[in-house]
Structure 1
Amino acid sequence: MFKLSSSLSKDLLRNFSKQNQRELWWWTVIMFNKMDEERTKTLGYDRTTAEWVLRNGGCVRFIGSPLLFCDYNTLPPENTKFFVKEIEATDAGLNTDGFDHIKGCHKLDRIFLKNCKYLEDDSLKKFMLRKDSLKIVEIIQCKNLTDDGLQHLTKLINLEKLIVHNLPYVKHLEKVQEDLRKALPKCTIQINP
């Protein structure tokens, strides 16, 4: 019978454990971003969007409120009507599937994303769901985004301000900036490597 040395078996267990932790974490990210259609039908898009953002480590601001809600437990009761105006997410677990939540948030006019490591190009494509209401988009240090992702922003017809910083996989920054300026002539655009 083949027997592993003590140090080798410890290494295998440690690596196995790390692999299981990654898989568990990825599964958690997927589940926390999944849209619950029944809950959305019952409570509306604004409520379920707020829950989605807070559940994944972000914050929301509502119309008429100076406060930024960052704690899931501080959300108003379920029977309270409110409208999401702003999403702020720093180091949050938001991913592409989660952005389906914003479809019915007709008052959402600002999205701020910083160091959101699960964002991908298709995440920005979902911003089209709010192309009529989005006025300000800021994307900083979201390292999975590329030129193709930023091209999706050319469709945000009412955008007034776009700030993009530190996206290492955007390879043709000048071309992307030129395309955005042509598509969004009324938008103030700040793009830095």
Structure 2
Amino acid sequence: MASGIRLLQKVSRVTSQWNRTGHKILSRDADPCFIQRRHFLGWLNSVFNKVDDDRIKEVGPDRAAAEWLLRCGASVRWKGFNHIEKDYNSLPGGSFDRYKIEEIDASGSCIMFIGFPHLNGLNHVTKVILHECIYLEDNALEYLSYIKETLKVLQISRCPNITKDGLSKLVVLENLQQLVLFQLPEVIDKEETKHMLQNALPKCQVQFLENKKEKSQEENT
């Protein structure tokens, strides 16, 4: 299991680098062996993102969500702790109720929409970074409503499949204080999208920094 996780994270980092340099991930003329590897990777991603209801009942939503995120190459910070949890094999044992997720950084991870129901039951998440999530699609963003009561800061950047329709699902995040967006190539009318979000979320500072070479918030802190 651990070796499979490390392999997936390594391949995810490589494909993310290809995206940043503008190379095609897959084309009709691609090598057949490469296509097979892509199909295998897609299957492996689905396995790692799958929601296990029995596991959630056994260990609670925060622990189960942390396992999902770290399997996929993301990281979390527990409420009351400064340490960033990145290693699946280093997840704390003992009383699971002690550990509540406060921050999620999914930069460069392979999270997919089928894993987002893991957010249900998380009551302490204040910050989420979705940066270079190449498998992230619009339908995942509606699941952020599970954490709308506590979510204060959200960044969505360099996610090539996110469109205006997906961003429109963020209007339910009524307690959001800061929304940072940049390098979302499928969002065509960026100014209109920004105004739509700002009007729907008047208490939130909405930033669309498409023309700037911004790093993720995690890199800037």
Give TM-score scaled by structure 2 length.
0.79
- Contact 2:59 / 2:96 at 8 angstroms: preserved in 1? no
The structure 2 residue matched to 1:177, chosen from 191, 194, 212, is 194
Matching residue within 60, 78, 83 for 2:76:
60
In the alignment, what sits opposite 1:115?
132
- Contact kept in structure 1, 2:60 and 2:96, CA below 8 Å: no
In the TM superposition, residue 78 of structure 1 has moved relative to its aligned partner by 5.1
In structure 2, the residue matched to 1:136 is 153
Spell out, residue by residue over 1:62-117, the C-alpha distance to the aligned partner (whole angstroms, 9 max, x if none).
Answer: 00000110001111015332100011011100010111101111101110011010
Q: 1:182 to 1:39 in 2, by over 3 A?
A: same
Alignment of 1:145-160 (within 5 A): 145-160=162-177
Rg (Cα) greater in structure: 1
CA distance in 1, matches of 2:96, 2:138: 34
Q: CA deviation at 1:23?
A: 1.2
One-letter amino acid matched to 1:84: I
Q: The residue matched to 1:133 in structure 2 has which SS? A: coil
Deviates more, 1:124-133 or 1:40-49: 124-133
Cα distance in structure 1, aligned partners of 2:39 and 2:141: 25
* Cα shift at 1:16: 3.5
| Superposition CA RMSD, Å | 1.2
Q: Is the 8 A contact 1:45 1:104 kept in 2?
A: yes
* 1:51 lines up with 2:67 in the alignment: yes
* Unaligned 5+ runs, structure 1: 1-13
Q: CA deviation at 1:60?
A: 0.2
| 8 A contact 2:106–2:133 mirrored in 1 | yes
Tell me the distance in 1 between the aligned counterparts of 2:179 and 2:186. 18
> What is the aligned partner in structure 2 of residue 105 from structure 1?
122
Task: Tell me the distance in 2 between the aligned counterparts of 1:169 and 1:100.
Answer: 24
Distance 1:116 1:108 in 2: 19
Q: Which amino acid aligns with 1:48?
A: A
How many angstroms does 1:17 deviate by? Answer: 2.3
Cα shift readout 1:12-49 (whole Å, capped 9, x = no counterpart): xx944222211110000011000100000111100001
**Is the Cα–Cα contact under 8 Å of residues 43 and 78 in structure 1 kept in the other structure?**
no
Residue equivalent to 2:143: 126
Note the C-alpha offset of 1:132: 1.2
Separation of aligned partners in 2, 1:71 and 1:120? 25
Question: Equivalents in 2 of 1:129, 1:30: separation in Å?
Answer: 21
Paired residues of 2:49 and 2:112 also in contact (CA < 8 A) = yes
Q: Deviations 1:158-180 (Å, cap 9, x if unpaired)?
A: 00000001000001111111111
Aligned length in residues: 180
